[in-house]
A and B are shown apart, each in its own frame.
Chain A
C-alpha cells in the first residue's frame, strides 16, 4: 500500500490582491468506493467573467465536492461540465449583478484550463495515476529529480498558444471535450507529482532544461507559502516567469501515511 499527501502553493498576479487569484486547486482522499484520491488545478481566463468561481467550481466538482465526481471518460466529463455550467450560471451571488456584469456573463462568460488526476490501485499490484487535461495546466511526474512524464507534453516555448479549456457556455463544449487529452503513469513510493497552472508550468519546463537537479531540489523543499511566493517574485523580477496567477500542487507518494497536518498562518 502506498499513500499520497499534498500541499498547494499559490500566488496571485503581481499587482492584484490575493483574493483576485483566478486559479483553482483541490484535492480529496479516496471516496467510500475506493476511488481516488483525486487532485485538480484550473486556470480561469483573466478576460472572462466570474473566472475565479468557474475555476474553483471545476476543481471542487472534479474531486467530488459538488455531487458525484466524473469518471475519466469524454462522455462522463461532458455531462459533468454541463452540470457545472448550470451551477455557475445559477450562483445566488449573481442576484446583485449590475447591467454590465449581466451583459458580460451572458455574452462572454468564462473559460478555464483544466487538469484533473485520480490515483488508482494504491493498494494493488500496479499503482498508477490517470489524468485528463484541457489546455496548458501541466502534471510533472518526477522520480529521483527527473521528469518521468510531463502531461500534456508542452515544450517551454509552446505555452500560451493552446486554446483548449472548459467554457461556461454549452455551444463549444462538445468540441472542447473532444480535444481533451488523457494519460496515465505507473507510480512507485518516493515519486512526486506536481500540478501547475501555465505560468509556473512554463517556468518549470524551461528550468528543467537548464538545471533540473536544482529545480526539483527547490520544489521538493518548498515548505512554506512565503518561500513559494519569494520564489515566484524573484523569477518574475528576473523576467523568467510570466506575471500571471500561479498555482503549484505537490503530491508525495509514500509508503507511510501522513503523520501530521501542517497549517501555515
Chain B
C-alpha cells in the first residue's frame, strides 16, 4: 500500500515541527548577508509559518483552516527560563506552547514588523513574526528530539489517519549532548522516526547551515563525498517520500532515487525553499 499519500484537510490535519538550533555558533555571520545565522534562520521560520497560514486562508470572513498543528522547539539558549536547554520557540501569547493549531498561530504572532527579504533583495515588508533570533550555549540536539518526540507521539496517537508528522531540524553545529539519557543521537532519531500514523513513519529532515560560502548540496542520494557533517546527517535523515520528490522536482531540483531529506550549506533563500518542499504534503489523494 502506498504511504505518504494522505492529503491534508481539517478532518485529517498534518503536523509540522521545526527544531531550531539556538546555540552560540548561530551568532556567526551568514555569508555576505551581514546578518547572523540566527537572524536568517528565524526569518526563514517566520516566512514558512506565514506561507502555511496563507495557504490555509481561503476566503474573506472565514477563519484560517486547521490544516496543520505546528511546533517550533529551540535548543541551545533558552529565553523563557534563561540557561541552556530546550523550549518552545514561540514568543508572545504562544510562549511555552507545544503544538499549536494553525488558526491559533495565525491569530497570535508575537509582533508584526518590517522584515528584510529572505533572498537579499533590497526590499522589506511588514510581516508577522512568531520566532526571534536567539543564540547562546551548546547544542543539546538529543534533548530537542526527545521533547519534540513526546509531542509527536501524542499527536500521532490522536491522528492515526493523517499524513505522518514532519520534523525539520535546522542546525549549524554538532550535537553536544549525545549520549543523552543513555541513548545516542542516532537512537533518539530512531525513536522519533518509529512514531507512525497509518500513512507512514515520522519524517526527520536536516538542514545544515554554514557561515561560509560553499557549494550547497540539496537532497543528496549518496553520502559518499559529502562534506562533514554530511555523512552523519545523511544517515539520520529520512528518505524523501514521493510527494516531496515531486515537489522538489517541480522546484527544479534533480532528485535521484534514494534522496534524503537533507540540505547542506544552504543560503537563506534555499533554506526557505527546502522548508517549503518539506512541508508541502499531498493536496489530494491519488
A residues with a Cβ closer than 8 A to B are 13-16, 46-53, 93-94, 96-101, 103-104, 107-108, 160, 239, 242-244
Residues of B within 8 A of A99 (CB): 112
Of B54, B60, B106, B286, the residue contacting A94 (CB under 8 A) is B60
Instruction: Report yes or no: B284 in contact with A50, Cβ–Cβ below 8 A.
Output: no
**Chain B 1-18, CB within 8 Å of chain A: the 1/0 string?**
000000101111000000
Instruction: Report yes or no: B60 in contact with A96, Cβ–Cβ below 8 A.
Output: yes
A53 to B62, alpha carbons, bound, how many Å?
Answer: 13
**Chain B 191-206, CB within 8 Å of chain A: the 1/0 string?**
0000000000000000
User: Contacts A16-B9, A242-B285 known; A93 to B61 CB distance under 8 Å?
Assistant: yes
Of A14, A15, A94, A104, the residue contacting B57 (CB under 8 A) is A104
Instruction: Report yes or no: B9 in contact with A93, Cβ–Cβ below 8 A.
Output: no
Instruction: Report yes or no: B54 in contact with A108, Cβ–Cβ below 8 A.
Output: yes
Q: 8 Å CB contacts to A: which residues of B34-73?
A: 53-55, 57-61, 64
A98 to B61, alpha carbons, bound, how many Å?
Answer: 8
Least distance between B199 CB and chain A CB atoms (Å): 13
Of A49, A52, A160, the residue contacting B284 (CB under 8 A) is A160
A96 to B63, alpha carbons, bound, how many Å?
Answer: 12
Residues of B in contact (CB 8 Å), total 20
Instruction: Report yes or no: A101 in contact with B60, Cβ–Cβ below 8 A.
Output: yes
A104 to B51, alpha carbons, bound, how many Å?
Answer: 10
Which partner residue on chain A sits nearest B12 by CB separation? A15
Of A13, A15, A51, the residue contacting B58 (CB under 8 A) is A51
Instruction: Report yes or no: A15 in contact with B59, Cβ–Cβ below 8 A.
Output: no
Which partner residue on chain A sits nearest B13 by CB separation? A15
Of B11, B55, B61, the residue contacting A96 (CB under 8 A) is B61
Least distance between A84 CB and chain B CB atoms (Å): 17
A242 to B7, alpha carbons, bound, how many Å?
Answer: 10
Residues of A within 8 A of B55 (CB): 47
Least distance between B115 CB and chain A CB atoms (Å): 14
Residues of B within 8 A of A52 (CB): 59
Q: 8 Å CB contacts to A: which residues of B253-269?
A: none
Instruction: Report yes or no: B57 in contact with A49, Cβ–Cβ below 8 A.
Output: yes
| Interface assignment of B283: CB less than 8 Å from any CB of chain A | yes
Of B7, B59, B61, the residue contacting A243 (CB under 8 A) is B7
Residues of A within 8 A of B61 (CB): 93, 96
A49 to B106, alpha carbons, bound, how many Å?
Answer: 16
Residues of A within 8 A of B11 (CB): 14-15
Residues of B within 8 A of A104 (CB): 54, 57
Instruction: Report yes or no: B59 in contact with A49, Cβ–Cβ below 8 A.
Output: yes
Residues of B within 8 A of A96 (CB): 60-61
Q: 9 tightest A-B contacts by CB?
A: A15-B11, A97-B60, A104-B57, A100-B57, A15-B9, A104-B54, A101-B60, A94-B60, A93-B60
Instruction: Report yes or no: A46 in contact with B283, Cβ–Cβ below 8 A.
Output: yes
Which partner residue on chain B sits nearest A100 by CB separation? B57
Can you report 20 A-B residue pairs in the complex whose CB atoms are below 8 A from each other? A14-B11, A15-B12, A46-B58, A46-B283, A46-B284, A47-B55, A49-B59, A51-B58, A51-B59, A52-B59, A53-B59, A93-B60, A96-B61, A100-B54, A108-B54, A160-B284, A160-B286, A242-B284, A242-B285, A243-B285
Instruction: Report yes or no: A103 in contact with B54, Cβ–Cβ below 8 A.
Output: yes
Least distance between B166 CB and chain A CB atoms (Å): 18
* Besides A48-B58, A94-B60, A103-B57, 10 new A-B residue pairs in contact (Cβ under 8 A), listed by A number: A15-B9, A15-B10, A16-B9, A96-B60, A100-B54, A101-B57, A101-B60, A160-B286, A242-B285, A244-B284
Least distance between A94 CB and chain B CB atoms (Å): 5
A13 to B11, alpha carbons, bound, how many Å?
Answer: 10
Residues of B within 8 A of A244 (CB): 284
Residues of B within 8 A of A160 (CB): 284, 286
Instruction: Report yes or no: A49 in contact with B9, Cβ–Cβ below 8 A.
Output: no
Instruction: Report yes or no: B286 in contact with A50, Cβ–Cβ below 8 A.
Output: no
Residues of B within 8 A of A15 (CB): 9-12
Residues of B within 8 A of A94 (CB): 60
Residues of B within 8 A of A51 (CB): 58-59
Least distance between B286 CB and chain A CB atoms (Å): 6
Which partner residue on chain B sits nearest A199 by CB separation? B284
Least distance between B157 CB and chain A CB atoms (Å): 20
Least distance between B127 CB and chain A CB atoms (Å): 9
Residues of A within 8 A of B286 (CB): 160, 242
A51 to B62, alpha carbons, bound, how many Å?
Answer: 13
